[in-house]
Amino acid sequence: MTDAPFETAASFAGLDAARAGRLRSFRIRDGLFRNLTLASALLVLAILGGVILALIIGSSLAFETFGFGFFVTESWNPVTEKFGALSPIYGTLVTSLIAMLIAVPVGLGIAIFLTELCPPVFRRPIGVAIELLAGIPSIIYGIWGLFVFAPMLQSTVQPFLIGTFGHVPVLSTLFAGPPYGIGILTAGLILAIMVLPFVTSISRDVFETVPVVLKEAAYGVGCTRWEVVRRIVIPYTRVGVVGGVMLGLGRALGETMAVTFVIGNAHRISGSVLAPGTTISASIANEFTEAVGDLYTSSLIALGLILFIITFFVLAIARLMLMRLESRAGA
Amino acid sequence: MSLMEPHAHSADHPLYRRRRRKSAIMMTLSLAAALFGIAWLVAILATLLFKGVGGLSLAAFTENTPPPGSEGGLLNAIVGSLIMTAIGVAIGTPVGILAGTYMAEYGKHNRLSTVVRFINDILLSAPSIVVGLFVYEVVVVKMGHFSGIAGALALAIIVVPVVVRTTEDMLNLVPHQLREAASALGLPRSTVIQRIAYKAAQAGIITGVLLAIARVSGETAPLLFTALNNQFWSSNLNAPMASLPVVIFQFALSPYTDWQQLAWTGALIVTFAVLALSIAARILAARSGK
């Protein structure tokens, strides 16, 4: 627009000046846009840095007060202001372990069913249904867990566990106590249902990367369907499957709402999985708005920092493994 | 060996029969796993419909959350959720699209993009309650009180990684010839990206935004101590604001039956909205794929 008078002048000098001006405006806009995208990319890093920094600053009071003892103390007493992270850490690890023990075999089973056994007509609808299950907000699992799943466990599964294993050594402590309905086991089972879709959809995706020729060759030498899965598909996709499992584990460790409803929020470590307990995220969700005093708040933020560091490493390992698979697939 | 035992390859050889039996058992187990997985989806949705539909009346959408023991609806929570989601998406989407653009268009193979991609993937599945703590420290403490804007910012932080990921993936699918043809006409790089690459990846980028909306509309943990909750009608971003997920959380754990009923109704509304958004995103993605 600005260079219109030069065009009517039609002199070579004018044209050159016009072109130079237009090129300059192109260059400026180009530079601006490029820097804008660069700044946004850096902002992603800044978010992570900000989160870590804010958590470290917020938790410094708790770590200064309790030192390393914070990690190994079970007591959590707002009245005497003695806080220790041991029981939330324990609860987080045990509920996630229960979740993975169930979700990994079932998730792999569904992925095997979808890639090897399922008639093609049903393959997409079932796959989509599983992925929709992954999209349901965790609070829905929580409310369902509290009102439907926990009472069901209380009246059926838990009395059965207590009755069956009550006199077996070791197992009797694991399944000791009255059936509350809510507790560590219930939280672990709800987490298993939540994590299942993640494990399933990633395993299915990596199973589909197995070259068809490999499978056909195995069938050609007389392998059964299971042998093809066991000897060809799983070895070929091992890295990706482990990556998917770790991704699910990352979700389970950090999951808040579904657990908060059904864990019972008791800061103590019990040998029985039927007893109420707490996890890091459930403690923060339940207590943060009611926490009075700087030390209480700071201790909860310290829990948040511990959770973030644990999940960061689990997710980082997951991503590295999946990236290794991608680079192999690309090569 | 096989020469001496001519029947070694026949279908009813004991070894082969055992292998086939084992295969059949494992395949039955995988079928059972699939039925097991789908049973949970059906069980959850059925409960939700069964318990939620009863409370689905006009009042649920036109009245505010009641004090215990009286009639009411979820209007202030629904509006609060819509306001905070809209602001969160409005802030998070441009940042996400621009960052995705940098990684796909400018720094495709450089080290910065690799690092950002890695960090972004971690943020994608990082615990959302930690985001709430971060915004609490940075915004709520500085402002001195809980507020709707703090909730919106927490949601924006959750939107960014989802949009970054889909934008980068979708821009990578745009054929190079399109960019080369546009560059050959003398268009500057930024114009090629804005007019050609964005246009070609449009449907995919919108899919990503829809998925991000679906993700944040059910988020509870990051709102608990940023937006807090509000028993009354409020559109003031500088004051605590109600949201559907937080109201569900509070009402479900209350001892009052009418509050619990409202929690179920709210859960049904949230689930329906999230499923509708993810199905819409899926349809859009499938259509653009053709």
> Is the pLDDT assigned to residue A60 strictly greater than 90?
yes
User: Could you please report the per-residue DSSP string of A12-42?
Assistant: HHHHHHHHHHHHHHHHHHHHHHHHHHHHHHH
The pair phi, psi for residue A44, each rounded to 5°, is -60, -45
Share of chain A above pLDDT 70, in %: 95
Q: What local confidence, expressed as pLDDT, does residue A329 receive?
A: 61
> Is the pLDDT assigned to residue A252 strictly greater than 90?
yes
Q: Do A164 and A32 fall within a single domain?
A: no
CB contact under 8 A, B27 and A254: no
CB contact under 8 A, A30 and B161: no
Return the higher-pLDDT residue of B289 and A210.
A210
Q: What local confidence, expressed as pLDDT, does residue B14 receive?
A: 86
CB contact under 8 A, B190 and A34: yes
**Distance (Å) from the alpha carbon of A254 to chain B's nearest alpha carbon:** 5
CB contact under 8 A, B157 and A118: no
**Distance (Å) from the alpha carbon of B244 to chain A's nearest alpha carbon:** 10
CB contact under 8 A, A136 and B263: no
For residue B9, what is the nearest residue in chain A, using CA coordinates? Answer: A222
pLDDT tens, B241-279? 999 999 999 999 999 988 999 999 999 999 999 999 999
For residue B20, what is the nearest residue in chain A, using CA coordinates? Answer: A224
Q: What local confidence, expressed as pLDDT, does residue A128 receive?
A: 85
Which of A42, A50, A253 is the closest to B134 by Cβ? A50
Q: Do A51 and A107 fall within a single domain?
A: no
Give a three-class secondary structure readout of chain B. CCCCCCCCCCCCCHHHHHHHHHHHHHHHHHHHHHHHHHHHHHHHHHHHHHHHHHHCCHHHHHCCCCCCCCCCCCHHHHHHHHHHHHHHHHHHHHHHHHHHHHHHHHCCCCHHHHHHHHHHHHHHHCCHHHHHHHHHHHHHHHHCCCCHHHHHHHHHHHHHHHHHHHHHHHHHHCCHHHHHHHHHCCCCHHHHHHHHHHHHHHHHHHHHHHHHHHHHHCCCHHHHCCCCCCCCCCCCCCCCCCCHHHHHHHHHCCCCHHHHHHHHHHHHHHHHHHHHHHHHHHHHHHHHHC
Asked if the C-beta of B173 comes within 8 angstroms of chain A's C-beta atoms, the answer is: no
Mutate to test the interface with A, among B30, B116, B247 (most CBs of A within 10 A): B30
> Is the pLDDT assigned to residue A202 strictly greater than 70?
yes
Point out which residues pair with A247 in neighbouring strands: none
Asked if the C-beta of B199 comes within 8 angstroms of chain A's C-beta atoms, the answer is: no
pTM to 2 decimals?
Answer: 0.90
As a whole number, mean pLDDT of residues A284-293 equals 89
Q: What local confidence, expressed as pLDDT, does residue A330 receive?
A: 52
Share of chain B above pLDDT 90, in %: 68
As a whole number, mean pLDDT of residues A53-77 equals 92
Point out which residues pair with A77 in neighbouring strands: A82
User: Could you please report the per-residue DSSP string of A196-265?
Assistant: HHHHHHHHHHHHTTS-HHHHHHHHHTT--HHHHIIIIIHHHHHHHHHHHHHHHHHHHHH--HHHHHHS--
Asked if the C-beta of B84 comes within 8 angstroms of chain A's C-beta atoms, the answer is: no
Q: What local confidence, expressed as pLDDT, does residue B84 receive?
A: 96
pLDDT tens, B112-128? 999 999 999 999 989 99
Q: Do A85 and A37 fall within a single domain?
A: no
Q: What local confidence, expressed as pLDDT, does residue B16 receive?
A: 86
Q: What local confidence, expressed as pLDDT, does residue B250 receive?
A: 92
Q: Do A180 and A284 fall within a single domain?
A: yes
Q: Do A12 and A76 fall within a single domain?
A: no
Question: Rounded CA gap, A123 and A35, in Å?
Answer: 45
Spell A86-112 as b/e; 16+ CB within 10 A means b.
bbbbbbbebbbebbbebbbebbbbbbb
Q: Do A207 and A310 fall within a single domain?
A: yes
* Domain harbouring A198, CATH code: 1.10.3720.10
Confidence band, pLDDT 50/70/90 cuts, at residue B15:
confident
> Is the pLDDT assigned to residue B166 strictly greater than 90?
yes
Q: Do A94 and A196 fall within a single domain?
A: yes
Neighbours of B276 (CB within 10 A): 12
Mutate to test the interface with A, among B102, B191, B228 (most CBs of A within 10 A): B102
As a whole number, mean pLDDT of residues B71-90 equals 93
Full domain range(s) for residue A287 = 69-330
Q: What local confidence, expressed as pLDDT, does residue B9 receive?
A: 57
Q: What local confidence, expressed as pLDDT, does residue A328 receive?
A: 67
A&B contacts, CB < 8 Å: 266
Sign of CA dihedral A63, A67, A71, A77: negative
Q: What local confidence, expressed as pLDDT, does residue B4 receive?
A: 46
Q: What local confidence, expressed as pLDDT, does residue A160 receive?
A: 85
> Is the pLDDT assigned to residue A6 strictly greater than 50?
no
**Distance (Å) from the alpha carbon of A297 to chain B's nearest alpha carbon:** 10
As a whole number, mean pLDDT of residues A186-212 equals 92
Q: Do A126 and A41 fall within a single domain?
A: no
CB contact under 8 A, A140 and B271: yes
The region of weakest confidence among A320-324, B34-38, B141-145, B146-150 is A320-324
As a whole number, mean pLDDT of residues B181-208 equals 92
DSSP 8-state class, residue A145:
I
Question: Rounded CA gap, A303 and B64, in Å?
Answer: 35
Neighbours of B16 (CB within 10 A): 15
Give the N- to C-terminal CA distance of chain A in Å, as an integer: 49
Last residue of a domain, one of A19, A46, A66: A66
As a whole number, mean pLDDT of residues B7-33 equals 84
The region of weakest confidence among A189-203, A280-294, B3-17, B258-272 is B3-17
CB contact under 8 A, A227 and B221: no
Q: Do A118 and A106 fall within a single domain?
A: yes
Q: What local confidence, expressed as pLDDT, does residue A2 receive?
A: 47
Give the N- to C-terminal CA distance of chain B in Å, as an integer: 55
Q: Do A220 and A278 fall within a single domain?
A: yes
Sign of CA dihedral B275, A97, A272, B129: negative
As a whole number, mean pLDDT of residues A229-233 equals 92
Using an 8 Å CB-CB cutoff, list chain B residues near A312. 122, 126
Question: Rounded CA gap, A14 and A140, in Å?
Answer: 69
Question: Rounded CA gap, B181 and A305, in Å?
Answer: 50
Last residue of a domain, one of A50, A66, A82: A66
CB contact under 8 A, A139 and B218: yes
pLDDT tens, B91-105? 999 999 999 999 999
**Distance (Å) from the alpha carbon of B188 to chain A's nearest alpha carbon:** 6
As a whole number, mean pLDDT of residues A58-67 equals 93
Mutate to test the interface with B, among A29, A51, A128, A288 (most CBs of B within 10 A): A51
**Distance (Å) from the alpha carbon of A127 to chain B's nearest alpha carbon:** 10
Average pLDDT, chain B: 90
pLDDT tens, A89-144? 999 999 999 999 999 999 999 999 999 888 888 888 888 888 888 888 999 999 99
Q: Do A4 and A124 fall within a single domain?
A: no
Last residue of a domain, one of A12, A44, A66: A66
pLDDT tens, A164-181? 887 887 788 888 878 888
CB contact under 8 A, A29 and B224: no
- Looking at the 3D structure of chain A, how many domains does it have? 2
Confidence band, pLDDT 50/70/90 cuts, at residue A1:
very low
Confidence band, pLDDT 50/70/90 cuts, at residue A263:
very high
Q: Do A148 and A184 fall within a single domain?
A: yes
